[in-house]
Structure 1
Amino acid sequence: MPTPPAPSVPVPAPLVTERLVLRPVRTRDVPAVTRLWTDPEVRRHLGGPVADAVVRIRQRRIVGASQCRAVERTRDGAVIGLVTVEPDGRGGETEVSYQFLPEYWGQGYAREAVAAAVARALEDVPSVVAVTQEANVRSRRLLEAVGMAHAESFVEWDAHQVLYRRTAPGKR
């Protein structure tokens, strides 16, 4: 008797905004994503550049990962960042995280991508959280700009952290 095909995990449709497409990571995106993991400026509030051995593992796992989205600029196809939406591992909530290449900072791309990702997630879950270092003022402003509110502060990884939360309308 033939073996039935393994059930497939549905891949969410790309998320399109005015200037961006958030889509699954492709093999050709790996160099840009690797830069996100190894750039000291990107990683300043994320524990520093990722070790080479860990980068190699991540490179094998990132392509097609259901929770990770490459952020592609529509006008030229440049991969400018990465947005991840996944269970947070702390309290069963859904967490959004993001990294963008420094040359694209200050142009509203991260705000546009994160706002779209949070809105999409809130269609299916009651709330979305994000954690950033208290010292990461740019990230805190972004989270507030997309409607997330400061929910708590704590120390983790030897740094002061802040947790932001946004609740879906009508799901308080």
Structure 2
Amino acid sequence: MTTAPPAWALTSPRLRLRHLDRGDEPFVLALLNEPGFIRHIGDRKVRSLDDATRYIEDGVQASYRKHGHGLYAVERREGGETIGLCGLLKREELDAPDVGYAFLSAYEGQGYAREAAAATLTHARDALGYRRVLAIVSPDNERSIHLLQKLGLQSQGTVRMKAHDHDVALYAIEW
């Protein structure tokens, strides 16, 4: 379970998911400072392109090396613009990887998160061999909870994560 997918291994009808790399700093800076990201996911303190470089290298790319997966840049196939992040995270506090996603506000409500998360879950099951995937979500993030339920994840109650000062809702899917 430690083989990273090729650059364009994850695709859907409208999207491509690829590794984050140098050059993605402006996108990362913009996304991580969106009000919705800060409210529902947390303030990652990425305030400059240098901060974004560290986020990519020390977080995302380190996860690729250590776990064979991580967050991927989500691009529209038509137009090629990067619109969000989606992928699998391995958190110390959880016994299985969790699916995570975030999109620029201009692209919310258009089905992109569902499409990217569905591709990620299929990849987790079919290519990486996971039999269980989790998701954590702020209890007040009704749109994300609805999306997780549409994808087949079921509530497992709440859990306290190190990065949060409050309980978060835990969801799971098993195959």
Do the structures match in fold with TM over 0.5?
Answer: yes
Q: How many residues align?
A: 160
Label 1:23 to 1:59 Cα distance change in 2 as closer, same or farther (>3 A). Answer: closer
2:96 partner amino acid: E
Aligned residue among 103, 122, 125 for 1:122: 125
Label 1:16 to 1:51 Cα distance change in 2 as closer, same or farther (>3 A). Answer: closer
Structure 2: how far apart are the matches of 1:76 and 1:97? 24
Q: Deviations over 1:102-127 (max 9, x none)?
A: 00000000010001101210221110
Aligned pairs (5 A) from 1:71-82? 71-82=74-85
Q: Deviations over 1:18-77 (max 9, x none)?
A: 000011113232211221212222221122352438545214444686222110000000
Matched, 1:106 2:109: yes
Match of 1:133 in 2: 138
Aligned residue among 28, 34, 58 for 1:33: 28
- 1:158 deviates by 3.2
**Structure 2 stretches of 5 or more lacking a match?**
65-69
Runs of 4+ aligned structure 1 residues displaced above 3 Å come to: 51-56, 59-65
1:18 partner amino acid: P
Matched, 1:11 2:42: no
- The structure with the largest alpha-carbon Rg is 1
TM-score (ref. length: structure 1) = 0.82
Structure 1: how far apart are the matches of 2:36 and 2:82? 17
RMSD: 2.2
Label 1:28 to 1:64 Cα distance change in 2 as closer, same or farther (>3 A). Answer: farther
**Structure 1 stretches of 5 or more lacking a match?**
1-8
Aligned residue among 97, 102, 108 for 2:100: 97
Structure 1: how far apart are the matches of 2:124 and 2:53? 29
TM-score (ref. length: structure 2) = 0.81
Structure 2: how far apart are the matches of 1:104 and 1:40? 14
Match of 1:152 in 2: 157
Whether the 8 Å CA contact 2:87–2:117 is kept in 1: the answer is no
